[in-house]
A = this chain, B = another copy of it.
């Protein structure tokens, strides 16, 4: 396995160790997970989130999975199946939330009703429900499988618009506070080629297809642009992302922190918001779904989670 930006090639055992070391280095550098903490891993059934869950479990972290059923036809069925199969095989606890069953709407219809592009409605729902499930379940952190390619593409999008508040929130670890649990991205030192290879080598069955709703999405355009640049100059993405974190992000954190100051609990769901009703509850209302005030349903696989489903 060749990793051009490190100018290195690995045999299988060394490659797996490389992946684990990149994750542990990231977790330590950004103080992401402390000993004894309970972590909720957002699991989509794709290579990144399953690799992340696997690496955390192998490292002895108390990590439960959270699968969010988006109601995107066959894609959701297949991705949920992969998440459940992995949890079953590992004997790990998987929390499940199903948008159609639990909240009465799905992403395609909800996005159309709310006049949002599907990726926007989906991202909003994920951010909201991951946080809500972690708060209600008493988890210390939500971990997501964003990799270096993802973060570099998000950074490029934010830089193209010079959105200072978004740029200030791009750190791989956002502290808890004001109704948010800590959010961490332990895979930011691994590319998507590496997480895919990790899963193949570990025999983890993941969903290969991209979400069918994401075609034409800007984020994919930013990824393509960066891939072309990385192809000419290996290491460009890492230099772009880590250079930002080291030299620029510290000057932009103030803008993101100011935003948190105006937050108060949403009267329907209790999650933090700056507007009267939070953006997710507005989406649910427009999509004709059920209000998300009550605690969410808990998981089916693995050991029972005593804290899951605990109301706020």
Contact = CB atoms under 8 A, between A and B. Distances in A.
Given A164-B248, A225-B226, 10 more contacts: A160-B236, A161-B239, A161-B243, A162-B243, A162-B244, A164-B247, A221-B228, A221-B232, A225-B229, A251-B251
Contacts of A221: 228-229, 232
Interface string A141-167: 000000000000000000111101000
Interface residues of A, number: 24
B232 A218 contact: yes
Q: Which of A160, A164, A224 has the most CB of B within 10 A?
A: A160
Prevailing SS type, chain A contact patch: helix
A10 interface: no
Interface string A220-246: 011011101100110010011001101
Given A159-B159, A228-B224, A247-B164, A218 B233 contact: yes
Interface string A196-240: 000000000000000000000010011011101100110010011
A247 B232 CA distance: 30
Interface of A: 159-162, 164, 218, 221-222, 224-226, 228-229, 232-233, 236, 239-240, 243-244, 246-248, 251
Contact of A222 (B222, B224, B229): B229
A160 B232 contact: no
Contacts of A243: 161-162
A171 to B, nearest CB: 15
A240 B159 CA distance: 7
A219 to B, nearest CB: 11
A239 B160 CA distance: 7
Given A218-B233, A251-B251, A161 B225 contact: no
Contacts of A233: 218
Contacts of A226: 225
B224 A160 contact: no
Sorted from nearest, which 10 A-B pairs have the closest CB atoms? A162-B243, A225-B225, A160-B240, A162-B247, A221-B232, A159-B159, A162-B248, A162-B244, A160-B236, A225-B228
17 contacts: A159-B159, A159-B240, A160-B236, A160-B239, A160-B240, A162-B240, A162-B243, A162-B244, A162-B246, A162-B247, A162-B248, A164-B247, A218-B232, A222-B229, A224-B228, A225-B225, A228-B228
A234 to B, nearest CB: 13
B247 A160 contact: no
Nearest to A221: B232
Contacts of A160: 229, 236, 239-240
Contacts of A240: 159-162
Contacts of A228: 221, 224-225, 228
Nearest to A164: B247
